[in-house]
Chains A and B, each alone.
Chain A
Amino acid sequence: MNFELLIQLIVNGLIVGLLYGVIGMCFVLVYKSTQIVNFAQGEFLLIGAWVCWASLIYLELPFFLGFLLSLVFMAGFGVLLQMVVLRPMIGEPIISVIMVTIGLSIFFQSLMKWIFGVAPQSYPKVFDNESISIFGLNVEMAYLMSTVIALIIMVAFYLFFKHSKHGLAMRATAFDQQASQSLGISVKHVFAMSWGIAATVSATAGIVLGMVNGVSDSLSIMGIKVFPAVILGGLDSIVGAIVGGLIIGVLENVAEFFDSQYLHIGNMYDIAPFYVLLIILWFKPYGLFGTRDIERI
């Protein structure tokens, strides 16, 4: 058994898992505050990454500025999307809401393919040396940056929800929409804000992933891969999303390892999380940290 490879894979899994956690957090944020399941989460990553790429290549901005520009763009984009497309959907049955986000996902995915083509493009070089070694493990700089960014986002989320007025308003809305509306919280603003935050944070994850693998429409698959993570953690738990993300990130790498070493089934990296997803839904539908639905008659 190749322990060195296994450990390297587990570390990679943890790093990717943190990113899954971040994307999952956005997903949970939107679900909790607006009761909308966002199947277009992956497209936020995709659009953010392409906008950043375009601003670096066509506008020739330095990386940091381009990064900020795309975040600002995405915040506006998220808010606009909520106002134009998702606001009419409030109160519609769940199938309509799901289908609207799926429609958005198809639309933006093919729009991006149309504008930027299908070939993966890479960012201009950001770091001087590609990888550094920590405790004998090779860690790519981009991965290190992604870890740092993911941790910063998580701390920022914590501080935002715990200590800011807007965060409190969002938590109140998630808890009870009518009560919070009667206490003077603008639910409309909260909805728009949660989409803005989700779009911005997802775009960050998209740019980081784009730096590692190049930008292409395969980024949008992340939006689907986040489902196992959030279901495992519980659909309405932000902590659950992080834990679920880490577990799924490690799991797919370990599954890949065992598959390549012993089983030789192939394609385990992509498909193992979905088997896990089915098993969780079978035995523990509300995940590790989710709240159980109790219905009154």
Chain B
Amino acid sequence: MSSLTMRPCGDFRTSYKQDNTIFETKTIRWVTIFTIIALCFAPLLVDGYFITLLIQISYLGIAALGLNILVGYTGQISLGHGAFFGFGAFASAWLNTSFHIPVFLCIPLAGFLTMGVGMMFGAPAARIKGLYLAIATLASQFIIEDFFARAEWFSGGAAGSMANPINLFGFAFDTDESFYYIALFALVFMFIWGCNLMRSRDGRAFVAVRDHYLSAEIMGVKLNKYRLLSFGISSFYAGIGGALYAHYLGYVSAEGFTIMMSIQFLAMIIIGGLGSIKGTLMGVIFMVFLPEVLESGVGLMKMTDWGNIPMVIDGLAYIKEMAIGLVIIGFLIFEPEGLAHRWTQIKNYWKFYPFAY
């Protein structure tokens, strides 16, 4: 899929090192760096509600990147990502309240715990693939969800569990603005790590397993190892995202981590583009803003004479769910490569204008 990204004319590579850079061109590197710097000043520029959305994008983005490594790069299917996200959230809260481990250590530890659980449930991946794997992970989603409701020592059962805010050197990150920097740091760190992973030997092995697993095996790529490793890394990302979510909200309850959440994660990576790190972020932004846009759209309709239909206004929750379903179907039929592909096309259109070839 990387062949889709077109390079500007005259940008030739003469060594492997150049081919392996994280940023394809200097412009992309500078744009990324400036975007990150601009995001650092976001709390000064935009209002508080927008910051909460950005935080949401961060923790969901980390988890979605994990899923994209599994689905987009390794070609495995997981319908249980929402449950792993939830496991990370509970695990971090549990480690903090039961063992009094400081929160900033709990988050990576929760990631590793989730990694263990993910590898346990991903173990059938060594034997089965495709459809059967999808159904196996569906089963794990229900089993983990059931575990949340049952294991009171771990998750607080039906009551849920409290999570303390992140506390670093006596400074508590308990406001939206302060937590925003933690979330931004985690997002950038995890995405750079993801980019790095994909240009390492392991990353190339993942892609080989996806593209043709028999050839990969003949080339000496250990299938079982990499399938399992991919599950582990994906769950690790989900765990980190979940832990951030827990310490941001301060309260975790089992109701949120249903199959619907797993489907939303899948929707994010499909909309963004399977096997594209940039696309993952685009998909997450799309999915976070979709309900907001719908809500404000209905809010605007409410103010007009013709649009004040009680059925539409009361059914907003259902309309949001329907929109998710519709968006998934629409993208798969009309733009199966996702937003990342569309972005490349738009860029090329401007670059080559007025000669489209």
Residues of chain A contacted by B270 (CB below 8 angstroms): 95-96, 99
Q: A110-B321, A110-B325, A267-B149 are in contact. Are A94 and B332 (CB under 8 A)?
A: no
What bracket does the count of chain A residues touching chain B fall in? Answer: 35 or more
Given contact pairs A114-B319, A277-B136, A278-B124, A106 touches B325 in the complex (Cβ within 8 A):
yes
Residue pair B142, A281 in contact (C-beta under 8 Å):
no
- A71 vs B132: C-alpha distance when bound (angstroms): 31
A235 contact set on B, CB distance < 8 A: 131-132
Contact with A along B316-340 (1 / 0, CB 8 A): 0011011011111100110010000
B side interface size, CB within 8 A: 41
A84 to B319, CA, bound (A): 21
Q: By the criterion CB–CB under 8 Å, are A98 and B325 in contact?
A: no
Whether A285 and B127, one on each chain, are in contact in the complex, defined by CB atoms closer than 8 angstroms, is: yes
Known: A37-B131, A278-B140. A95 touches B71 (CB 8 A): yes
For A231, give the chain B residue with the smallest CB separation.
B135
Contact check, A99 vs B128: say whether CB atoms are below 8 A apart. Answer: no
14 contacts between A and B (CB under 8 A): A37-B131, A96-B336, A98-B77, A98-B134, A99-B270, A100-B332, A103-B332, A104-B325, A106-B263, A270-B146, A271-B142, A271-B146, A278-B124, A281-B135
Smallest CB-CB separation from A271: which chain B residue?
Answer: B146
Q: Are B266 and A274 in contact (CB under 8 A)?
A: no
> Which one, A85-93, A133-141, A144-152, A173-181, is touching chain B?
A85-93
**Contact pick for A102, options B124, B263, B322, B333, CB 8 Å:** B263
A275–B143 contact, CB under 8 A?
Answer: yes
Sorted from nearest, which 5 A-B pairs have the closest CB atoms?
Answer: A107-B325, A103-B328, A106-B325, A110-B321, A114-B318
Q: A residues touching B (Cβ–Cβ < 8 Å)?
A: 37, 85, 88-89, 92, 94-96, 98-100, 102-111, 113-114, 224, 227-228, 231, 235, 265-267, 270-271, 274-275, 277-278, 281-282, 285, 295, 297
Identity of the chain B residue whose Cβ is nearest the Cβ of A111 in the assembled complex: B322
Q: In the complex, what residues of B have CB within 8 A of residue A271's CB?
A: 142-143, 146
Residues of B within 8 A of A107 (CB): 321-322, 325-326, 329
Complex: how many Å from CA A104 to CA B321?
11
Residues in B whose Cβ lies below 8 Å from that of A282: 124, 127
Among B71, B139, B140, B321, the one with the most A-chain Cβ atoms within 10 Å of its Cβ is B139
Structural contact, A267 and B150, CB atoms closer than 8 A: yes
B139 contacts A277, C-beta separation under 8 Å: yes
User: Are B132 and A231 within 8 A (Cβ)?
Assistant: yes
CB atoms of B136 and A278 under 8 A apart = yes
Q: Which residues of A contact B138 (CB under 8 A)?
A: 224, 227
Q: Which of B135, B318, B326 contacts A103 (CB 8 A)?
A: B326
B127: which A residues are within 8 A, CB to CB? 281-282, 285
Write the nearest CB–CB distance from B128 to chain A, whole angstroms.
5
- On chain A, the residues within 8 Å of B71 by CB distance are 95
Q: How far is the CA of A282 from the CA of B133 in the complex (A)?
A: 10
Q: How far is B270's CA from A40's CA once the two chains are assembled, in angstroms?
A: 19
Q: In the complex, are the beta carbons of A114 and B322 less than 8 A apart? A: yes
Tell me the nearest residue of chain B to A88, going by C-beta.
B333
Contacts A98-B131, A110-B321; A266 near B333 (Cβ below 8 A): no
Extra 4 A-B pairs, beta carbons < 8 Å, given A107-B326, A227-B139, A281-B124: A85-B333, A94-B134, A99-B328, A224-B138
Distance between Cα atoms of A207 and B65 in the complex (Å)? 42
Nearest-neighbor residue (CB-CB) of B334 within chain A: A88
Is B130 part of the binding interface, using a Cβ–Cβ cutoff of 8 Å? Answer: yes
Per the bound structure, the CA–CA distance linking A224 and B260 in Å amounts to: 13
A99 to B263, CA, bound (A): 8
Measured in the bound complex, the distance between the Cα atoms of B296 and A78 in whole Å is: 34
Q: Compute how far the CA of A105 lies from the CA of B325 in the bound complex, rounded to whole angstroms.
A: 8
Hey, which chain B residues are within 8 Å of A85, CB to CB? 329, 333
The one of A96, A106, A297 in contact with B322, judged by C-beta atoms closer than 8 angstroms, is A106
**Which residues of the other chain, A, contact B325 by a CB distance below 8 angstroms?**
103-108, 110
B221 CB to nearest chain A CB (Å):
15
Shortest C-beta distance, B169 to chain A (Å), equals: 44
In this assembly, does B55 line the interface, its C-beta being within 8 Å of a C-beta of chain A? no
- In the docked arrangement, what's the CA distance between A275 and B263, Å? 21
Contact (Cβ within 8 A) A274 B332: no
With both chains docked as a complex, state the minimum distance between the C-beta of B195 and any C-beta of chain A, in angstroms. 22
Across the interface, name the chain A residue whose C-beta is closest to B336: A96
In chain B, residues 263-282, which have Cβ atoms closer than 8 Å to a Cβ of chain A? 263, 266-267, 270, 274
Known contacts A99-B266, A107-B326, A266-B150: A285-B132 contact under CB 8 Å? yes
Min Cβ gap A64→B in Å is 32
Whether A114 lies near B315 (C-beta < 8 A) is yes
A173 shortest CB reach to chain B, Å: 19
Contact with A along B61-86 (1 / 0, CB 8 A): 00000000001000001000000000
Cβ < 8 Å to A, chain B residues 146-201: 146, 149-150
Q: Is B40 an interface residue (CB 8 A)?
A: no
**C-alpha spacing A266/B158, complex, angstroms:** 14
Residues of A within 8 A of B77 (CB): 94-95, 98
Task: For B327, give the chain A residue with the smallest CB separation.
Answer: A103
Task: Give B99 Cβ to nearest chain A Cβ, in Å.
Answer: 27
Max count, chain A CB within 10 A of own CB: residue among B71, B143, B267, B318: B318
Cα–Cα distance between A271 and B138 once the two chains are bound (Å): 12
Please name the residue on chain B nearest to A36 by beta carbon: B131
Chain A hits for B143, CB < 8 A: 271, 274-275, 278
Chain A CB within 8 A of B28 CB: no
Of the candidates B135, B263, B319, B332, the one whose C-beta lies within 8 Å of that of A92 is B332
Per the bound structure, the CA–CA distance linking A96 and B130 in Å amounts to: 11
Q: Which of chain A's residues has its CB closest to B321's CB?
A: A110
